[in-house]
Amino acid sequence: MKSIKNMTIGELAAYACNHLHKNGIQVVLSGGACVSFYSKNRYMSYDLDFIENIPSTRKKLKQVMEQIGFTEQQRYYKHPDTKFFIEFPPGPLAVGDEPVKDHSEIQLSTGILFLLSPTDCIKDRLAGYYHWNDKQCLEQALLVAEENPIDIDEIERWSAHEGKLKEFQEINHFFNKKKVVSHPRKAKR
């Protein structure tokens, strides 16, 4: 296996995710690291946000992360051989007001990565755009849409649920060419 210093963000995420799962800590990657992964690093995040499905104790999390060389530094876990760092924001796993019902699983050389689907990753980014007018979040959502099949009808339904249907209609033309309804559960890269 590759050394940590040579791992891409996706490989490191799969490595950590796999190790956590083997030790009974079920996590799903979310946030900017999903954008990095799905945009083929056209957007780069160095923060890997893992949301726990079932919260574990801080002590157990620390012990498991130390087994692969990550030490806790304030709220982050850092490794001396990589610029990427890992964070465990509080759950539950949600996009905006809605819980995430399903996630993607992608097999990489370093393990299975559990992460938001491309559609939920876009919803996650649009939440930042809708609620804080963060235009970078809209740009990130579009990067994910350019590289992946998405369910635009689901994004529209979710936007209405968030009370942001008007805002979705204003930006929908950016997504028009992506009207592919697909939600792959397992994919290989």
Annotated domain spans of the chain: 4-115, 118-181
| Residue 42 exposed, middle or buried by CB count within 10 Å (0-12, 13-18, 19+) | middle
Residues 6+ apart with CB under 8 A from 173: none
* pLDDT one digit per residue (tens) for the chain, 189 residues: 899 999 999 999 999 999 999 999 999 999 999 999 999 999 999 999 999 988 899 999 999 999 999 999 999 999 999 999 999 999 999 999 999 999 999 999 999 999 999 999 999 999 999 999 999 999 999 999 999 999 999 999 999 999 999 999 999 988 876 544 444 444 434
Lookup result for tokens 């996650």? 124
pLDDT at 42: 95
pLDDT at 176: 76
CATH of 4-115 given 2.20.25, 3.40.50, 2.60.40, 3.30.460: 3.30.460
pLDDT at 177: 60
Closest to 140 measured CA to CA, from 153, 127, 154: 127
pLDDT at 178: 55
Residue 33, phi then psi, degrees to nearest 5? -65, -35
| Residue 76 exposed, middle or buried by CB count within 10 Å (0-12, 13-18, 19+) | middle
Structure tokens, 110: 């370093």
Whether residue 162 contacts residue 127, with contact meaning beta carbons closer than 8 Å, is answered with yes
pTM for this one? 0.91
pLDDT at 184: 43
